[in-house]
Amino acid sequence: MTVKERNERNGGHLSTRGIAGTLRASVAGLALLTLAGCQSAIEQSYEPSVSPSATPQIVDEVQKNDPRAAMGAREHPRIVASYGGEYKDEKTERLVARITGALTAVSENPNQSYRITLLNSPAINAFALPGGYLYVTRGLLALADDASEVAAVLSHEMAHVTANHGIQRQQREEAEVIASRVVSEVLSSDLAGKQALARGKLRLAAFSRNQELQADVIGVRMLGEAGYDPYAAARFLDAMAAYSRFSSVDPENDQSMDFLSSHPNAPQRVELARRHARAFGPDGTTGDRGRDYFLDGIDGLLYGDSPQEGYVRGQTFLHGKLGIRFDVPAGFQIDNKAEAVLATGPGEIAIRFDGVADTQRRSLTDYIASGWVTGLQPDTIHAITINGLEAATARASADRWDFDVTVLRIDTQIYRFLTAVPKGMPSLEPTADVLRNSFRRMSPQEAAALKPLRIRVITVAPGDTLTTLSARMMGTDRKLDLFRLINALQITSTVKPGDRIKIISE
């Protein structure tokens, strides 16, 4: 959640009607993008092997007369804005450029130029736009175990480009319509607009079932012909599914575990990828995984939230620049977005936290009653004090949902909690109490001590075990589970001295 978004908010109408469903759909929809959405970006750069050319060929020059590139260029700024901007790290950019270069040489169209953008988002995602615009999030690089898995994702997206799938999709739905949805997600402060934005991203990413299968087949072929392990595609599909289960509050009922109707299901795609990989030889006997240079390229990679959006540490949200923090109850999953902090918990409970500029300095009870909450029960509005801060609370009700509304003032900002539970559910007050009672200012020392989490590559020493290594993980209360995920370790896996592994720490 960014400071800019908070300060630009104008306290506009915030309907409680169906808001819990909206929050859950937003979280689930964005998680679905992570696993099923076909999406990919990094300003292309290469390790020089010869002296620079006096007349370099840049992407803009090569693509200037390509109408497909013009379509991608039109969407590019909006994509970058909606995914937190570009992530700049020279060695990581070189890593992805190296992989893309190897794949381009064996692609369906070796003359196709690509503009690669690394997105500053913790989401696990990659996608392509017409004209060779490729995007990959830093979250995807953090989950991948080696270069061949990144190559599997990029080859799939490059296959969409060379097969002109984007053009075919564009003919089904005009680019301007898609763009307007993306813009509405970025600029709108309305919850329905945010949900429309997520749907817009899904449409932007969605290819037909046959196109996805075709891209899978082409991608595996490119992997093998480029010298990478062709089984990497199946491995990474499994890894994404495992991470989605890990991230889900309720794996059995989480809608985000389902692929879009236009996508094949995960088991089908994994089996297809394995079947085509067998053409290059048995698993484990062919192709390079490129793990060492991959680990070198991502060492120090930012993990999770960007500093300007605050941090999630287990059940706690902290924002050093704003100097605030609060907790969510045990069992809740926090989803920190640019426009708001969302959290979901057992029993269909949903929480939204955001802030608005407080220019009129009216009383907080008057602010709650000013019309931005639909279904408000006026007789429930009360002024209170929370950890020394001026605050007010109220109840609202709409359709089958009950809501708690809590607002607090710090200087020129009003911070807002909206908690939604199914009507009559007794957990509304206990949930809201945890939020209210834990919200407080951070001390300057606390704020200064906050540091972003990063991927750190370390070497296993004698005496190290999965338990001792995972204990060094930060930012999660499920250290061993996440450690296994980011290192592609199974329940029976072990480590030995000299192995290089990833941990998450400051």
Q: What is the 3-state secondary structure (H, E, C) of 143-211?
A: HCCCHHHHHHHHHHHHHHHHCCHHHHHHHHCCHHHHHHHHHHHHHCCCHHHHHHHHHHHHHHHCCCHHH
Q: Which residue has the higher pLDDT, 4 or 406?
A: 406
213-239 pLDDT tens trace:
777 788 889 999 999 999 998 899 889
pLDDT at 363: 93
- Mean residue pLDDT of the chain comes to 77
Residue 466, pLDDT > 50, answer yes
55/119 Cα distance (integer angstroms):
29
Please check whether residue 160 is in contact with residue 207, taking contact to mean a CB–CB distance below 8 angstroms. Answer: yes
Q: What is the token pair recorded at 452?
A: 């972003």
Q: Which of 473, 124, 136, 120 is nearest to 301 (CA)?
A: 120
Mean pLDDT of 391-418: 93
Crossing angle between the packed helical segments 266-277 and 232-247, to the nearest 10 degrees: 160
C-alpha 434: how far from chain center: 26
284/180 Cα distance (integer angstroms):
46
Q: Which amino acid is located at 303 in the chain?
A: Y
pLDDT at 377: 93
Sign, CA dihedral 240-450-187-367, equals positive
Q: What is the token pair recorded at 178?
A: 């898609």
Residue 289, pLDDT > 90, answer yes
Crossing angle between the packed helical segments 209-225 and 232-247, to the nearest 10 degrees: 130
What percentage of the chain exceeds 90 in pLDDT? 41
* Strand order across the 453-459 sheet: 302-303, 453-459, 500-505
Residue with tokens 């990919």: 40
Q: Which amino acid is located at 368 in the chain?
A: I
Q: Which of 330, 338, 301 is nearest to 314 (CA)?
A: 330
pLDDT at 65: 53
Q: How confident is the model at residue 473 (pLDDT cuts 50, 70, 90)?
A: very high
Q: Which residues have C-beta within 8 Å of that of residue 32, sequence separation ≥ 6?
A: 202, 255, 256, 258, 259, 260
Angle at 251 (CA atoms; ends 190, 493), nearest 5 degrees: 125
pLDDT at 317: 93
β-pairing verdict for 324-327 and 316-319: antiparallel
N residues, the chain = 506
Torsion of CA 28, 119, 308, 22, to 10 degrees: -20
Please check whether residue 116 is in contact with residue 96, taking contact to mean a CB–CB distance below 8 angstroms. Answer: yes
Please check whether residue 157 is in contact with residue 134, taking contact to mean a CB–CB distance below 8 angstroms. Answer: yes
Q: Which of 306, 289, 300 is nearest to 488 (CA)?
A: 289
Residue with tokens 């190559």: 151
Please state the pTM of the whole predicted model.
Answer: 0.70
62/132 Cα distance (integer angstroms):
11
Q: Which residue has the higher pLDDT, 396 or 71?
A: 396
Q: Which of 99, 95, 35 is nearest to 229 (CA)?
A: 99
24/248 Cα distance (integer angstroms):
11
Q: What are the counts of helices (DSSP H) followed by strands (DSSP E) for the chain? A: 19, 17
Please check whether residue 403 is in contact with residue 455, taking contact to mean a CB–CB distance below 8 angstroms. Answer: no
pLDDT at 432: 95
Q: Which of 263, 186, 236 is nearest to 32 (CA)?
A: 263
HSE-CB for 78 with a 13 A CA cutoff: 23
Residue 11, pLDDT > 60, answer no
Residue with tokens 């991203």: 201
pLDDT at 46: 31
Mean pLDDT of 336-340: 79
* Strand order across the 126-129 sheet: 115-119, 133-137, 126-129
461/470 Cα distance (integer angstroms):
13
279/270 Cα distance (integer angstroms):
15
Rg (CA), the chain: 24
C-alpha 401: how far from chain center: 28
Q: Which amino acid is located at 294 in the chain?
A: F
Least confident of 42-46, 99-103, 136-140, 462-466: 42-46
Residue with tokens 């009950």: 402
Crossing angle between the packed helical segments 209-225 and 147-162, to the nearest 10 degrees: 130
Residue with tokens 């991948």: 144
DSSP-derived 3-state class of residue 41: coil
